[in-house]
Amino acid sequence: MTKYYSINFDLPKRNSKNIIFVILHYTGMKKESEAIKRLCDSTSKVSSHYFIKNNGKVLNLVPDQYTAWHAGISYWKKFKSLNKYSIGIEISNPGHDHGYKKFSSKQIISLIKLLKNLKKKYNIKKQRILAHSDIAPNRKKDPGEKFPWKKLAKINLSKWHNLNNYKIKKYRNSKLKVFEEKKFLNNLSQFGYKKIKNKKEKTNLIKSFQRRFRQNLINGKIDKECLLISKNLIK
């Protein structure tokens, strides 16, 4: 791991007991070098604790004991402004605006090693290893639908449902009754997502859920497949 410090963090040091989340991001920039530069630029007002390059090399930009500026306006369960409770990991990827691509195998190998270390060091629950889009669905899409959440779940590094994808796929695009849609939204709130206030927020929330748990169809619409997955997640 390479030390490559950013000065974008809060003082003083935080208590390690307050580190209870890991938030995963993609950089969303055309060039990897520009993304690193931005995270270390004092005028950008953004940073992360770790940066994983395309070749799998891990940069440590901000020491864990300081609050980095990666989550922004965010919410999960009772927690708001998750910067102070989390470790932020940026993974090099141009993102949806610049030619979104699959994450490299070297990146995922490095990420898994890093997550295992952080999870053990800070006793972080797998349910609290989250996407930026989970905690800020109205602003963010990262790390997106090409991120291997299911693979992480198999090694206890994220939450995933245990339903048979082939069996539940037959319920895709099936129309729900009003009370079933409400049940879906309540399930998401119970899982941790912020409650919605309007139609636009509803669509953003559904897409965020789909990018995480139904990655091959992101249409912003609730169907029975989504409902079944949401029920399973809160068991």
Q: Which residues are tagged catalytic? A: 90
Calculate the alpha carbon distances from 233 to 103, 150, 161, 227 in Å: 25, 13, 6, 10
- How many angstroms separate the CA atoms of 21 and 177, rounded? 35
Length of the chain: 235
Rounded distance, CA 217 to CA 210, Å? 7
What is the rounded distance in angstroms from the CA atom of residue 79 to the CA atom of residue 20?
11
**What is the Cα–Cα distance from 23 to 124, expressed in whole angstroms?**
12
- CB-based contacts of 37, cutoff 8 Å, min separation 6: none
